[in-house]
Amino acid sequence: MNRTFSIIKPDATQRNITGSINKIIEDNNLTIVAQKRIKLSREKAEGFYAIHKEKPFFNDLIDYMTSGPVIIQVLEGDNAVEKYRKIMGSTNPENAEEGTIRKKHALNIQENSVHGSDSEENAKIEISFFFNENEIISN
Ligand code: ATP
Ligand code: MG
């Protein structure tokens, strides 16, 4: 059993499709063991995406991620990190596989509906960036 960190991004909260995304998560045997709806501050978003700060899309990414509410989650299950990356689909929805969240819901490479940690190590860092251990309640 392990954990990954998820964000349902502003394009999805805006379109009221967070329930549909949660259904895909749960149908794939990941359990939502923590969940909060928040508005990211610019500072928090820049900290979270610090790894991308030299990228040409960084400023647009921060504008977008702070443009509306997001749902932050901790997901738990077998191989949670790898499994969630697979369920999300490719960053660019044009390349996303059938049945993935991004194939079904993403609008474009930026407004791509979800974030998921890309390694076990980053999952731990990202979870502790947003949650206290006592806010995470396993089944
Ligand atoms: P995430 O980190 O959000 O789970 P990812 O790992 O698939 O997505 P990254 O390469 O880490 O993708 O990029 C982080 C986010 O930055 C993407 O999810 C997307 O919202 C945005 N992004 C990535 N590449 C581009 C691009 N070329 N143009 C615009 N936005 C981009
Ligand atoms: Mg990434």
For residue 139, the CA-to-ligand 1 centroid distance in Å is 31
Distances from the Cα of 126 to the Cαs of 17, 19, 111, 129, in angstroms?
A: 23, 23, 20, 5
* Count of all residues that appear for the chain in the document: 139
**Bigger pLDDT: 1 or 85?**
85
- State the average pLDDT over residues 41-54: 98
Question: 64 phi and psi, to 5 degrees?
Answer: -65, -45
Is residue 29 in contact with ligand 1, taking CB distance under 6 Å? Answer: no
Question: 116 phi and psi, to 5 degrees?
Answer: -140, 140
- The number of beta carbons lying within 10 Å of the beta carbon of residue 103 is 16
Q: Is 115 tagged catalytic?
A: yes
Read off the pLDDT band of 8 (50, 70, 90).
very high
Atom 30 of ligand 1, residue of closest alpha carbon: 110
Give the pLDDT score at 114: 99
Question: pLDDT tens digits, residue range 93-137?
Answer: 999 999 999 999 999 999 999 999 999 999 999 999 999 999 999
Supply the pTM of this predicted model.
Answer: 0.97
Is residue 91 in contact with ligand 1, taking CB distance under 6 Å? Answer: yes
Distances from the Cα of 73 to the Cαs of 33, 36, 63, 129, in angstroms?
A: 7, 7, 21, 12
Read off the pLDDT band of 49 (50, 70, 90).
very high
